[in-house]
């Protein structure tokens, strides 16, 4: 058996599996977490300043929940794009939900400050908010658009293009 061609075939197989998984992550699958058309479940947590915040505080307003962590390179890349759109569309409530269970809150606070982020940042200290909205799906990033009645209108799983993010704001 030719060892180099076996390794090449193995690598090709891994690449194909990775591309399929990445492509699957960019769609809006059903049956995972909170589906489109469902009421967004309420949650209570704290913001980066330690103040209590509830999703129900935003009933009557549009909300974009953006789940992120610094270890997620796609998330980190999207944050400045989301910030720019937040400035362009001030009527959209943008809420970053940091997966604090996976990394330090202090590091995340420094990271956000360095980027000049002004939209609301919440802490998900036990992953309960993320697990509710994602169904425990291990892929990041995750963004959920909730309308004024509290109904999930869009859910993007996986890396988002600037145009996809912009469409959520429009």
CATH number of residue 159's parent domain: 3.40.30.10
pLDDT at 14 over 50: no
- For 44, the domain range is 3-169
Which one, of 126, 125, 134, lies nearest residue 66 by Cα? 134
The pLDDT of 134-151, averaged and rounded, is 90
Closest CA to 66 of 112, 19, 22: 112
Comparing 113 with 35, the larger pLDDT belongs to 113
pLDDT of residue 6: 53
CA distance linking residue 10 with residue 20, whole number of Å: 15
Predicted local confidence at residue 166, as pLDDT? 82
Instruction: Categorize the per-residue pLDDT at 29 as very low, low, confident or very high, splitting at 50, 70 and 90.
Output: very low
Query: How many domains does the chain divide into?
Result: 1
The pTM assigned to this predicted structure is: 0.79
- ∠ CA 26-117-53, rounded to 5°: 85
The pLDDT value recorded for residue 17 is: 37
pLDDT tier, 137 (very low <50, low <70, confident <90, very high otherwise): confident
Element (H, E) at 152: strand 152-157
Question: Cβ distance 141 to 102 under 8 Å?
Answer: no
The average pLDDT across 126-146 equals 91
Question: Above 90 in pLDDT, residue 5?
Answer: no
CB 170 within 8 A of CB 163: no
Query: Which tokens belong to 74?
Result: 């796609």
Q: Residue 64, SS3?
A: strand
Q: How many C-beta neighbours within 10 Å does residue 154 have?
A: 15
pLDDT band at 169 (very low <50, low <70, confident <90, very high): confident
Beta carbons within 8 Å of 156's beta carbon, 6+ residues apart: 26, 28, 141, 142, 143, 164, 168
Q: What is the pLDDT of residue 162?
A: 78
Number of Cβ within 10 Å of residue 145's Cβ equals 21
pLDDT at res. 102: 93
End-to-end C-alpha distance for the chain, whole angstroms: 57
Q: What's the mean per-residue pLDDT of the chain?
A: 83
Please tell me which residue, 12 or 146, carries the higher pLDDT value.
Answer: 146
């Amino acid at each position: 058996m030719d060892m180099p061609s076996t390794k090449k075939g193995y690598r090709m197989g891994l690449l194909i599996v990775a591309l399929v998984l990445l492509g699957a992550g960019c769609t809006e699958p059903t049956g995972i977490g909170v589906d489109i058309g469902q009421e967004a479940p309420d949650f209570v947590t704290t913001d980066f300043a330690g103040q209590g915040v509830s999703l129900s505080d935003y009933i009557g307003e549009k909300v974009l929940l953006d789940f992120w962590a610094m270890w997620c390179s796609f998330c980190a890349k999207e944050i400045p794009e989301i910030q720019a759109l937040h400035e362009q569309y001030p009527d959209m409530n943008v809420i970053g939900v940091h997966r604090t269970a996976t990394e330090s809150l202090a590091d995340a606070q420094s990271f956000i400050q360095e980027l000049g982020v002004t939209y609301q940042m919440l802490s998900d200290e036990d992953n309960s908010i993320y697990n509710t909205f994602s169904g425990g799906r291990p892929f990041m990033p995750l963004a959920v658009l909730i309308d004024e009645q509290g109904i999930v209108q869009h859910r993007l799983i996986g890396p988002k293009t600037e145009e996809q993010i912009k469409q959520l704001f429009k």
